[in-house]
Each structure stands twice: as structure tokens, then as C-alpha cells.
Structure 1
Amino acid sequence: MNRTFRKYHRQIAIILCFPLFLTVLTGMCFTIVHEWFHQRELGEFLLHIHTLEIIHLEKIYPLLNGLGLIGLLITGFSMTGLFRQRTDDTKSKAS
């Protein structure tokens, strides 16, 4: 089971690498350009890239990013072992 989650986690991470990097980078650049340097036009351009409005994906892009991140969280948490059932090996060893 853990091997399956590792496989899915790796595949989702490879698929989401560029979209998430683009979202983070343009979000940071928008804040710097718009708030610090007060460049309205460049800020709007970065926002269009941030939401992929340039290629008319602004309605589905955030949903795909969100679903991908949820998938990464689920597979990542499952690999940590926090949700595994504990065996009673410690009780049998103590006896």
C-alpha cells in the first residue's frame, strides 16, 4: 500500500511541478511589483499569468491546482505512518 502511495505521489508531483511553481512565482512577483513598486500594468499582467487568464483557463486552473495539492497531501500523509494501525508488539515483549 505504501509503495502504491509513493508511486501516485511521485506522479502527481511531477505533473504539478510547473503549475505550482508558476502560481507561487507569479504570486510573489505580483506582490512585489504591485505593492512595493506600484507598477499597475505589470502587476495586472502577472495576475493574468497567475490565474492563466492569458490562455482562458482562469475558471479551471485554481480547481486543478487545488485538487492536485489535496492529492499530494493525502498521499504524503499516508506515507508518514501517522495513520497506520499499531501492532501490540510492545505488549507481547513486555510480558
Structure 2
Amino acid sequence: MNRLFYKYHRWLAIVCALPLLLTVMTGMTFPIAKALHQRQLAGFLIHLHTLETFGLGDFFPILNGLGLLGLLITGIYMTRLFREKRAHSQYL
């Protein structure tokens, strides 16, 4: 089962890397452009941030969120935080 989570986690990471990078970069540069009073650039960045530029403004945030949720679930599972600890028979 653990191998399956590694496989899904790796696949999700590859698929989600570019959209998340775009979201992070535009989210970081938007306040800078706004502080420098670059309204046209700030407007473009916010449209690019949500991919409204390509008509995906309604779906992109949901897909980003689902991808992050999947990465979070598979990543937490792989840490083995919620597994039962086995008693070592050598001490019994």
C-alpha cells in the first residue's frame, strides 16, 4: 500500500508542479507590482494568477486545491504518523 502512495504522490507532484509554481510566482509578485503602483501589471498578474487569461478562472483554483489536498494526504500517509506501533518481540 505504501508503494501505491509513493506512486500517486510522485505523479501528483509532477502534474501539480507547474500550476503551483505559476500560482506562487504571480501571488508573490502581485503585491510588489501593486506597491509600485503598476496597475496594468498588477491586473495582468491577478488574471494570470487565477488563469482567467485563458478562461479557466472558475476551474483553476479548484484544481490547484485538489492537487494540493492529494499531495497533503499522500505525504502525511507516507510519514507513518497514523500507523500502529508494533511491539518488538525481542524485548518480550
User: Normalization by structure 1: what TM-score?
Assistant: 0.92
* Displaced runs of 4 or more, over 3 A: 92-95
Where does residue 34 of structure 2 map in the other structure? 34
Matches of 2:83 and 2:3 in 1, distance apart? 14
Matches of 1:83 and 1:2 in 2, distance apart? 13
Runs of 5+ consecutive residues of structure 2 not aligned to the other structure? none
Where does residue 3 of structure 1 map in the other structure? 3
CA shift, 1:25, in A, is 0.2
Deviations 1:53-77 (A, max 9, x none): 0111000100000000000000000
Matches of 2:21 and 2:31 in 1, distance apart? 16
Percent of residue pairs bearing the same amino acid type: 55
CA shift, 1:94, in A, is 3.3
- Superposition map of 1:45-56 within 5 A: 45-56=44-55
Runs of 5+ consecutive residues of structure 1 not aligned to the other structure? none
CA shift, 1:93, in A, is 3.5
Matches of 1:8 and 1:94 in 2, distance apart? 37
> 1:19 is paired with a residue of what secondary structure?
helix
> 1:88 is paired with a residue of what secondary structure?
coil
Where does residue 66 of structure 2 map in the other structure? 67
One-letter identity of the residue aligned with 1:40: R
Matches of 1:17 and 1:64 in 2, distance apart? 12
Matches of 1:4 and 1:84 in 2, distance apart? 16
Matches of 1:48 and 1:87 in 2, distance apart? 52
What RMSD, in angstroms, separates the aligned Cα atoms of the two structures?
0.9
